[in-house]
Amino acid sequence: MTATLEPSAGIGRRRRRTLPWYAFGLANLAVVVVLSLVSWYLVADPEWSASGIYPQPLTAWMFWTIIAFVWAAFTFELSPFARLGQPWKGLAVAVVTGGLGALITWLLAAGWGSVDASFDGARAEGAGFILGSLIVLYSFVVYVISAVNCGHWPWTRSGLQQPWLGAASFGALVIPVVVLYLVFAVPSMATWAPPDAALLDPYTQIGFFYCVVVSAILTGAVLENWPWRLAGSPGRTALAALVGNLVVGWVLYEALVGVTHLVLGSANVAALGETLPMFGAQVGVCWVFWMVMWPNAFGNRPTGGRLGVVLVGRTVITFVLAVLTFALYYYVLAGVVLHEPAAADGATVSGSALVGMDWLIIWALWYVVAGESWGLPRPHAAVEEETS
């Protein structure tokens, strides 16, 4: 991979090193993978790390850290960090979001868990951590759709600017998040809930609602809000995105569970048993990783030509990469590289993508999105746009 030089635009003007778009993307991927592996072995690895936090409270921390990043980067559009240059901006976002993730996880498990045993971190199989972090699932749905698909409507109509726009959005959206959490999550896992109170079991909740998030990111980031933008006004676009993502999310849920059958095989599917519905999210998290990397590191290619070809091309590229990553993760990475245990009793595959792939996503968000790929030469197209 060889950096190139931008042609001189004038006498004495310093030439800037640049990279082809694919080399820039691969360089970002390499940095993210290295940062992820080194930190995994030091902090999270179930065999090599002495922390003992795998899989809980590690998973709860990652869920809360990612939603903290969504609040910072999407709801508040990184406005609290706007005056910082790189690498301090990226480092500050990482410290704040990672710190919030740790603080909220601890407050729920050790604080609220002392009041309601349902949230106690000492519950068997990390059930208290799981219940405490399930609210993040519904936060993903609400806050991602609001920012990525709806453009903060209706608060943008008021003329608010950041950080007040983010504060209004954040405060108002707490209400639907809490309602969804109380309706779906709490009855399914609270120690005091009647046995037949749950509308959906936790595995189905995670699988389905995560696929709604996949739909929101796919349509909002990769497809530039197609087809919801066809609805016209901001209000109609918001309504179309809300209803449309629920429908597309259900279709994706069914399809991605089907992908699990194809990739893992009938024997492993049988071993997964009641946890199988959650594998819509397991494939989905691999897709989310590529939907973070593709627009931000690989330039969201293709970018020219007929609109239909461009949108289908991006969808196919990110989906194929997701399925390949899912297969590689379960057959090789989780067990051999990350030392995760078997995915289920009797399974020949290891790990949970909602652990290992979320770890990668966090580093992608910190380095590529917040850190703006600090230290790497810029891609050709970005430099040409800056100097035009």
d(CA 357, CA 363): 10
pLDDT at 99 over 60: yes
Is there a contact between 165 and 146 (Cβ–Cβ < 8 Å)? Answer: no
Question: Is 288 part of a structural domain of the chain?
Answer: yes
Is there a contact between 234 and 156 (Cβ–Cβ < 8 Å)? Answer: yes
Task: Report the interhelical angle of 21-39 vs 353-364 (nearest 10°).
Answer: 120
Question: Is 30 part of a structural domain of the chain?
Answer: no
Residue 13 has a pLDDT of 45
Look at the alpha carbons of 44, 45, 46, 50 in this order and tell me if their dihedral is positive or negative.
negative
pLDDT at 388 over 60: no
pTM for this prediction: 0.93
Query: pLDDT tens, 128-145?
Result: 999 999 999 999 999 999
Residue 196 has a pLDDT of 87
Question: Is 253 part of a structural domain of the chain?
Answer: yes
The SS3 of residue 378 is strand
Question: Is 384 part of a structural domain of the chain?
Answer: no
Question: Is 79 part of a structural domain of the chain?
Answer: yes
Look at the alpha carbons of 65, 70, 75, 76 in this order and tell me if their dihedral is positive or negative.
positive
The DSSP call for residue 342 is: B
Per the structure, how many domains does the chain have? Answer: 1
Query: pLDDT tens, 310-329?
Result: 999 999 999 999 999 999 99
d(CA 149, CA 217): 8
Binning pLDDT at 50, 70 and 90, where does residue 386 land?
A: very low
Q: How many CB atoms lie within 10 A of CB 316?
A: 10
Binning pLDDT at 50, 70 and 90, where does residue 16 land?
A: low
User: Which whole number is the average pLDDT over 220-242?
Assistant: 93
Task: Give 378-385's long-range contacts (Cβ < 8 A, gap of 24+).
Answer: 378/16, 378/18, 378/19, 378/24, 379/18, 379/19, 379/20, 379/21, 379/24, 379/299, 380/4, 380/6, 380/18, 380/19, 380/20, 380/21, 381/21, 381/299, 383/6, 383/16, 383/18
pLDDT at 3 over 50: no
Question: Is 329 part of a structural domain of the chain?
Answer: yes
Mean pLDDT of the chain: 92
Is there a contact between 306 and 377 (Cβ–Cβ < 8 Å)? Answer: no
Q: Find out whether the peptide bond into 20 is cis, omega within 30 degrees of 0.
A: no
d(CA 198, CA 189): 8
Residue 2 has a pLDDT of 34
70 or 195: which leads in pLDDT: 70
Residue percentage of the chain with pLDDT more than 90: 88
Query: pLDDT tens, 32-85?
Result: 999 999 999 999 999 999 999 999 999 999 999 999 999 999 999 999 998 999
Binning pLDDT at 50, 70 and 90, where does residue 15 land?
A: low
Question: Is 13 part of a structural domain of the chain?
Answer: no
Question: Is 339 part of a structural domain of the chain?
Answer: yes
8 or 353: which leads in pLDDT: 353
Strand 378-379 versus strand 17-19 pairing type: parallel
Residue 261 domain boundaries? 38-372
d(CA 277, CA 261): 11
- What are the helix (H) ranges across the chain? 21-39, 58-70, 88-106, 127-144, 164-180, 186-189, 202-217, 234-272, 279-297, 307-328, 353-364, 380-387
Residue 8 has a pLDDT of 31
Binning pLDDT at 50, 70 and 90, where does residue 382 land?
A: low
